[in-house]
Structure 1
Amino acid sequence: MSMNRVSNSLLDDLAADLAPVQPIRQWQGISLVVVSALVTVGLVDLAEGLWHGMLTGEANPLFFLTYGMLGLLAAASALAVLRMAQPRIGNTQDGARWSFAMLGLLPTTALVSLAVGGSFAQLVDDPYGFECFAWSTGLGLLSAAAMVLWLRRGAPVSLNAAGTFTGVAAGAIGSVSLGLACPIDTLPHLGVWHVLPVVVAALLGRLIVPTLVRW
């Protein structure tokens, strides 16, 4: 009998420390990422002004192809991150992986065309190349913070994968946001300087995000 009393007392002590936890709902995470992306676009509009050439027929079709692919990658990767906060059986990230692989066609095509034409100097001499890269990478920080906050609310199992896809999504959002103000729509500029932020952000996300959401 004494053993039962001790056991019951222990259970009572443990139960006393419990507190109700509000379940996280995926639509809340989607809303958080969408709002962060819209705020990022708004900041670009205030700082630089959006390029109206995309609405007046001045934009090269490659402009829409590049940012369409980046937008799809951002959506697929962000959704993968949101799902990782709620681990379950069959929770895969195939959509994000395939989107990232498809995006790789742009820099590959750009570099091959420059190599064939012997015009790598065109890439190096791009006066706005590094500026676009730096700003695109930095603009993804707001969306990255939103996804990190969401991951901290959940229980991600694969922290490295969560960090990588957080970086991919943030880099893509930053690149698209800046791209709406960038009138340069050549293949080398779009395929390298607006894709490179996604790669760098993915590496940074893999290194940094797991330390911020470890539980």
Structure 2
Amino acid sequence: MLTHSYRKATEEIAFRRGHLKRSIFSQKIEVVLALVGSRDDLPSYLGSIPFLFKASAMVLLAGGCAILVRAAAIPGFRARPIVALWPTILFLLTAVVLDQSGLPLTGVHPPLSATACVGTIIAASLPAIGLIVAALRRGTPTKLRQAGFFAGLLAGALGAMVYSVFCENDGAAFVALWYSLAVVIVGCIGAVLGPKWLAW
């Protein structure tokens, strides 16, 4: 009986997590498509090196941020942002050094490219902050501002991951600067909202 109950509870948790992930990504895709639309060369772009670079960078970033969010939910567990985010930082710096595309830092349509990038990532990330904070509340975070910041970083990383599919700016320097700036801004939004949303 206990085994059956445990199995049922585990399946329910897994279902909720899967539903949460689908909700986050579907919301982000809708926002990005509404703001910037799709690339004309999307089918061929999805197999290109620029897409693989951007997707890999954002997956690394989201993974590091997820580690920080999980750490923030455990009382007394010390989060190590440098350790969690170092793979992403190293990956982006290496890409910037090796990039020979000659694509401008300001994007293909300056200054609109940078503004659209940052604004779209922020807009796509906002719906996810509430869902991630709701997941955080199931734990017992004690440093609420820090937990909110990490939740914002994760939301921003996921938003940037979705945006990378449709973004026309493929330069490594552009991605390293403007994607990172947008993610940090969303993190700061999370830091402001965290103490209010996570307080018991």
**Is the shorter-chain TM-score for this pair beyond 0.5, marking a shared fold?**
yes
2:157 corresponds to which residue? 172
**Counterpart residue type for residue 35 of structure 1:** S
Structure of higher CA gyration radius: 1
2:5 corresponds to which residue? none
Q: Is the 8 A contact 1:156 1:162 kept in 2?
A: yes
- The reply on whether 1:70 has 2:58 as its aligned counterpart is yes
What is the SS of the residue equivalent to 1:194? helix
- Residues 143-194 of structure 1 deviation map (CA, whole Å, 9 limit, x = unaligned): 1110122223442223233112101111111112222211221123222112
2:129 corresponds to which residue? 144
1:81 corresponds to which residue? 69
**Counterpart residue type for residue 122 of structure 2:** T
Report % sequence identity: 22
Q: How is 1:98-177 mapped onto 2 (pairs within 5 angstroms)?
A: 98-105=83-90, 108=93, 122-123=105-106, 125-177=110-162
Change (3 A) 1:187 1:79: closer
In structure 1, how many angstroms separate the alpha carbons of the residues matched to 2:184 and 2:132? 18
Q: Which runs of 5+ in 1 are unaligned?
A: 1-22
What is the SS of the residue equivalent to 2:170? coil
**Counterpart residue type for residue 190 of structure 1:** V
- The reply on whether 1:56 has 2:53 as its aligned counterpart is no
**Counterpart residue type for residue 100 of structure 1:** L
In structure 2, how many angstroms separate the alpha carbons of the residues matched to 1:204 and 1:195? 14
In structure 2, how many angstroms separate the alpha carbons of the residues matched to 1:143 and 1:127? 25
In structure 2, how many angstroms separate the alpha carbons of the residues matched to 1:162 and 1:49? 33
1:198 corresponds to which residue? 183
Q: Which runs of 5+ in 2 are unaligned?
A: 1-8
Q: Is the 8 A contact 1:106 1:191 kept in 2?
A: no
What TM-score results when the alignment is normalised by the length of structure 1?
A: 0.67
What TM-score results when the alignment is normalised by the length of structure 2?
A: 0.71
**Number of matched residues?**
185
1:39 corresponds to which residue? 27
In structure 2, how many angstroms separate the alpha carbons of the residues matched to 1:147 and 1:122? 32
- The reply on whether 1:183 has 2:168 as its aligned counterpart is yes
In structure 2, how many angstroms separate the alpha carbons of the residues matched to 1:65 and 1:139? 20
- Residues 21-74 of structure 1 deviation map (CA, whole Å, 9 limit, x = unaligned): xx9976334541442123211332355433363531587523322222212322
